[in-house]
Amino acid sequence: MENRLILITITGQDRPGVIAKVAQLIADTDGARIRDIEQTTTHTQMVLTLLLDLSAGGSSEKPLIKDLLFQAKEMGLDLDFAVISEDDYRRKTAGNTYVVTILGSRVDARSLAEVTGLLAEASANVVRISKLTQRELRCVELLISTDGQLDIPALKRQLLQVGGSQRVDVAVQKERLYRRAKRLVVMDMDSTLIQVEVIDELARLAGVGEDVARITEQAMNGELDFGQSLAARVALLKGLKEEALDEVYRSIPFTPGARNLVHILKRLGFRTAVISGGFKFFTDRLQQELGLDYAFANQLEIVNGEVTGRTMGRIVDGECKAQLLEEIAEREGVTLDQVIAIGDGANDLPMLGKAGLGIAFNAKARVREQADTHINQQSLDSILYLLGLSEREMDEISA
């Protein structure tokens, strides 16, 4: 005989003891058991849903429904119920689930309508909505389900367009264990962890700023081979005094939220790394100042206190970044699914592609289009929302 499932929905003013009284009535009913339960509260208004399985006993559900209706009325609450088939319940719980995060300086009704409209067109149903920010609505997390497989690349392209028009970022992730079990965060340095391109700052002091900036821009857009562009730019720095490197480091502006991001990650037990196509002189100092676990970059050759215009050792290009990410993950004993990579340039794409979550942060158009996830926010610690952390939790950890 098919199971008799009853979906109970209780709404009204939230108060202590509601679940206790409802659960007691169910416990006192022979053969009744709770198969599913969920409660949400917005300000003071509560929605409590329970799925009851009455197949184990011989008693009718009518006395229990009557008692629940009476108890709800006594508490000033509204109660509704519906019969659910076992097949329908299995279909609802067997689908694929994803998490969609909408993030911006403000998430308004228009952006919600545009995003959820696309999800509806993809036959995805919103199961749960959570606000991750306090006070103003700046980040919303949607749990969605679908009976089939979503065409994630196509959906992301559409959401990228919607996000651009609505000035919000929209990220889609498969809801699974590894989304909540990240253990390693690997970051680019220039224009990611810090707000400048170090080589451009050095070039400015060397009097070749415009020449180097032009080559840098071409490299970031993927128009030039990174190794060749690095060699060309470094050659222009020949004769620069070593003291200039110290001067640049002392004036480096960190990206807003960078220090807080690293602080929270370390408090949560994450391992952190900076892998840069810049120079080891700077990543080593960042590692020490921020307490990062790993730092890799190109070695700038300095002889007799002057830059020679050459680098030493292997070039940290895009492929090298991806390889270093794998090496760190193996050393730390974590899977690639447990790795987050953050970068902004074309040479970061191989690294972003290797990680379980690759994030293009304030990146060029080509990088945004190819990366799994993109974030165009002022603060680097906004990335923590993609892990499901709320603003309240971040404040608690930061304190």
Residue 188 known to be catalytic: yes
Q: What is the C-alpha to C-alpha distance for residues 375 and 173, in angstroms, rounded to an integer?
A: 14
Residue 190 known to be catalytic: yes
Name the pairing type of β-strands 184-187 and 271-279.
parallel
Q: What is the C-alpha to C-alpha distance for residues 214 and 209, in angstroms, rounded to an integer?
A: 9
Q: For the chain, percent helix, then strand, then coil, each to nearest 5?
A: 45, 30, 30
Q: Pick the catalytic residue: 30, 67, 151, 188?
A: 188
List the helix and strand counts (H, then E) for the chain.
Answer: 15, 15
Q: Pick the catalytic residue: 53, 169, 190, 372?
A: 190
Contact assessment for residue 10 and residue 72, using Cβ atoms and an 8 Å cutoff = yes
41-78: burial string, b at 16+ Cβ within 10 Å, e else = eeeeebebebbbbbbeeeeebeebbeebbebbeeeebe
Q: What is the C-alpha to C-alpha distance for residues 96 and 144, in angstroms, rounded to an integer?
A: 8
Q: What type of residue sits at position 272?
A: T
Contact assessment for residue 132 and residue 141, using Cβ atoms and an 8 Å cutoff = yes
**CB within 8 Å of 128: residues ≥ 6 apart:** 38, 40, 142, 143
Residue 390: name the closest of 106, 382, 340 by CA. Answer: 382
**Token pair belonging to 187:** 């970051």
**Token pair belonging to 366:** 């080509």
Task: Find residue 361's DSSP bridge partners.
Answer: 375
Task: Find residue 358's DSSP bridge partners.
Answer: 341
Contact assessment for residue 82 and residue 61, using Cβ atoms and an 8 Å cutoff = no
Residue 5: name the closest of 67, 90, 128 by CA. Answer: 90
**Token pair belonging to 53:** 């399985």
Q: What is the C-alpha to C-alpha distance for residues 377 and 165, in angstroms, rounded to an integer?
A: 15
Sign of the Cα pseudo-torsion (107, 112, 113, 114, in order) = positive
The catalytic residue positions are 188, 190
